[in-house]
């Protein structure tokens, strides 16, 4: 045991410090033992809360919390829906390159890739996309990888390995216990240990940085491992689950209250037969039962105080809303208690958060995916992703301003302006010969008895007005 006694410490101070060291040593042993356990199906271990102090929460536990807590599930799914609700398109200066990329991303179902990136980054903090190549070594499609089995290359001490450009040297796809190594991957087998992976076998498959794209939601300092939306509120969610259990028990007791029977009074002392008779009556009592008892006996029903638990439940709902950034009315499906002005401000911050997230993911996709595709296919340009606004109010205000600008003569609705508006509305661009198509056409001569007549092109005389009587 570590001793902290010395000339600079008094006896009482030294004893207190030694007790503190003993407590810390025991706590570290408890944490190490907990990390070796996998989550059970029946309940989340209460001791999981110890991992929050100085240790990252295992990824499997974050996934379990997403699936088990209804408010967390609703909040993250609402973020993903909002993220994908606004349309996006790629933009290139070269028209042929843009058309090529549009077809490539459509065939590779890049919409699904973006949705998975947002969902996985929100839950685990990290999202991993595999760049699938053909026999010629060119990217042909994408596939998402389960974040619970992906990590950075690390040394024997668990430190991330970096290359000369301060980027990860390689990634590792962790093999769970009992997994077999594919025959074509045996030369890539590496030893790997990390505290965030519960069922790791201690080995993994090495993946190069140009084979996988890595996305994060949030990071702290210079660390590469991302932070999602669940980990910051993890301890609160453990307490929330316990609070909901208490709430369910209280509701159950309210539906089936505790029956308390009193037998006798000061002038009628209870006897054992009287008590046994009352006990038998109480045990058989139901909602439709009617009983008759003497005035010196009494029956009372004790119910749990459900209202006292309501503030606690609301407190944890507020925690979920604060951590995810989703306004509380969207999570619980009701906004009766939220003032309209307050909700408008919360919604504005929420939309800005989603917009920033869209820009971040778009930039990483351009750098980690689009640039490699352009290089491998010898394309002259790397496209960029442009998102429309997630705010319907903003889109409506833009439409109103455009009408005002045209009416005031500030904007001329030429073909370029019309195409911009059509793109915003998801419509195809106008054809090049639109001007000719819109011009009125003169009536063509009609054929009669295989000869042309000019009757159809001549103006018919207007009928003379009838004389007035």
pLDDT in tens, 145-176: 999 999 999 888 888 889 888 889 999 998 88
Cβ-based neighbour number of residue 33 at 10 Å: 10
Whether 35 shows a pLDDT value over 90: the answer reads no
> What are the Cα distances from residue 213, in Å, to 54, 69, 152, 169, 247?
28, 30, 12, 13, 44
Q: Are 144 and 113 in contact (CB under 8 A)?
A: yes
Q: Which residues contact 256 (CB under 8 A, 6 or more apart)?
A: none
Pick from 145-149, 329-333, 338-342, 401-405: least confident: 401-405
Secondary structure of residue 343 in the 3-state scheme: helix
CA-to-CA dists, residue 112 to 106, 212, 362, angstroms:
10, 17, 14
pLDDT of residue 102: 94
- Over range 60-89, report the average pLDDT: 93
What pLDDT, in 10s, does the model give residues 398-431? 666 667 777 777 777 777 777 767 766 667 777 7
The pLDDT of residue 372 is 95
Model confidence at 439, pLDDT cuts 50, 70, 90, reads low
Instruction: Quote the tokens at residue 146.
Output: 């389960």
The confidence score (pLDDT) of residue 5 equals 38
Does 59 or 448 have the greater pLDDT score?
59
> Across all residues in the chain, what is the average pLDDT?
78
Low-confidence winner among 25-39, 49-63, 142-156, 422-436 (lowest mean pLDDT): 25-39
User: Rounded to whole angstroms, how far apart are CA atoms 158 and 56?
Assistant: 13
Q: Pick the residue with more confidence: 308 or 452? A: 308
Q: Residues with Cβ < 8 Å from 144, sequence gap 6 or more?
A: 113, 116, 117, 120, 127, 128, 129, 130
Say which residue, 366 or 334, is predicted with more confidence: 366
The per-residue pLDDT for 17 is 43
271 confidence band (pLDDT: 50, 70, 90): confident
Q: Residue 308 has what DSSP assignment?
A: G
Asked if pLDDT for residue 289 goes beyond 80, the answer is no
Structure tokens at 223: 């660390």
When pLDDT is cut at 50, 70 and 90, the band that residue 213 belongs to is very high
- The pLDDT of residue 36 is above 60: no
- Mean pLDDT of the 131-146 span: 94
Residue 212 vs residue 200, higher pLDDT: 212
- Count Cβ atoms below 10 Å from residue 79 Cβ, excluding itself: 22
**CB neighbour list of residue 4: distance below 8 Å, 6 or more residues apart:** 14, 17, 18, 21
More confidently predicted of 264 and 44:
264
Residue 44's pLDDT band, with cuts at 50, 70 and 90, is: very low
For residue 141, what are the β-bridge partners?
A: 132
Q: What is the pLDDT of residue 10?
A: 46
Q: Angle 234-255/59-68 helices, nearest 10 degrees? A: 30
Structure tokens at 164: 């000369």
Q: What is the pLDDT of residue 339?
A: 77
Please give the residue that has the higher pLDDT: either 223 or 68: 68
Q: Report, as an integer, the average pLDDT of 231-259.
A: 82
* Whether the predicted pLDDT of 43 surpasses 50: no
Reduce the DSSP state of residue 33 to 3 states and report it. Answer: helix
Cα distances (angstroms) measured from residue 373 to each of 128, 133, 144, 150, 208? 17, 10, 17, 23, 16
Q: What does the pLDDT read at residue 467?
A: 65
pLDDT tens per residue across span 352-386:
999 999 999 999 999 999 999 999 999 999 999 99
- Tell me the C-alpha distance between 190 and 177, whole Å: 15
pLDDT of residue 431: 76
CB 137 within 8 A of CB 376: yes
Q: Which position has the higher pLDDT, 48 or 120?
A: 120
User: Is a pLDDT exceeding 60 seen at residue 276?
Assistant: yes
**pLDDT reported for residue 458:** 53
Band the pLDDT of 294: cuts 50, 70, 90. Answer: confident
pLDDT of residue 354: 94
| Interacting residues of 231 by C-beta distance below 8 A, sequence separation 6+ | 56, 57, 62, 125
Query: What share of the chain in percent tops pLDDT 70?
Result: 73
Task: Quickly state the pLDDT bin for 136 (edges 50, 70, 90).
Answer: very high
Q: What share of the chain in percent tops pLDDT 90?
A: 36
CB 120 within 8 A of CB 131: no
Assign 183 a pLDDT band (cuts: 50, 70, 90): confident
Residue 142 has pLDDT above 80, yes or no: yes
Q: Is pLDDT at 216 greater than 90 in this prediction?
A: yes
61: helix, strand or coil: helix
Quote the radius of gyration of the chain (alpha carbons, Å). 36
Q: Which of 107-121, 157-171, 259-273 has the highest mean pLDDT?
A: 107-121
Residue 277 pLDDT class (50, 70, 90 cuts): confident
């Amino acid at each position: 045991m570590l001793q902290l006694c010395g000339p600079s410490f008094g006896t009482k101070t030294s004893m207190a410090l030694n007790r503190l060291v003993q407590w810390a040593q025991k706590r570290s042993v408890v944490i190490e033992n907990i990390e070796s356990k996998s989550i059970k199906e029946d309940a989340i271990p209460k001791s999981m809360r110890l991992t929050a102090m100085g240790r990252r929460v295992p990824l499997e536990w974050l996934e379990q919390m997403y699936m088990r807590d209804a408010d967390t599930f609703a909040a993250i799914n609402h973020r993903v829906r909002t993220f994908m609700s606004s349309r996006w398109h790629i933009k290139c200066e070269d028209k042929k390159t843009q058309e090529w990329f549009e077809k490539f991303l459509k065939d590779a179902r890049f919409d699904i890739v973006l949705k998975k990136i947002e969902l996985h980054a929100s839950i685990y903090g990290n999202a991993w996309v595999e760049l699938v190549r053909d026999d010629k070594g060119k990217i042909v499609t994408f596939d998402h990888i389960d974040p619970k089995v992906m990590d950075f290359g690390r040394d024997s001490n668990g430190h991330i390995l970096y290359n000369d450009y301060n980027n990860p040297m390689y990634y590792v796809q962790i093999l769970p216990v009992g997994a077999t190594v594919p025959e074509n991957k045996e030369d890539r087998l590496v030893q790997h240990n990390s505290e965030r992976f519960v069922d790791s076998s201690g080995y993994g498959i090495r993946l190069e940085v140009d084979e996988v794209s890595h996305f994060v939601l949030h990071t702290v300092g210079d660390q590469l491992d991302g932070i999602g939306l669940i980990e910051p509120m993890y301890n609160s969610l453990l307490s929330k689950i316990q609070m909901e259990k208490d709430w369910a028990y209280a509701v159950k007791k309210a539906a089936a209250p505790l029956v308390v029977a009193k037998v006798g009074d000061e002038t009628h002392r209870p006897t054992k037969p009287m008590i046994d008779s009352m006990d038998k009556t109480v045990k058989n009592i139901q909602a439709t039962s009617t009983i008759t008892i003497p005035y010196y006996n009494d029956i009372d029903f004790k119910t749990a105080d459900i209202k006292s638990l309501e503030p606690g439940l609301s407190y944890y709902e507020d925690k979920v809303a604060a951590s995810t950034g989703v306004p509380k009315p969207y999570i619980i499906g009701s906004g009766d208690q939220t003032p309209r002005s307050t909700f408008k401000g919360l919604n504005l911050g929420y939309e800005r958060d989603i917009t920033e997230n869209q820009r971040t993911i778009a930039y990483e996709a351009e750098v980690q995916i689009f640039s490699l595709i352009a290089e491998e296919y010898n394309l002259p340009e790397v496209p960029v992703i442009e998102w429309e606004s997630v705010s319907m109010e903003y889109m409506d205000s833009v439409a109103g301003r455009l009408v005002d600008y045209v009416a005031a003569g500030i904007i001329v609705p030429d073909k370029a302006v019309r195409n911009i508006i059509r793109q915003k509305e998801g419509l195809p661009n106008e054809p090049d010969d639109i001007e000719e198509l819109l011009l009125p056409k003169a009536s063509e001569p009609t054929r009669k008895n295989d000869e042309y007549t000019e009757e159809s092109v001549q103006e018919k005389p207007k009928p003379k007005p009838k004389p007035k009587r």
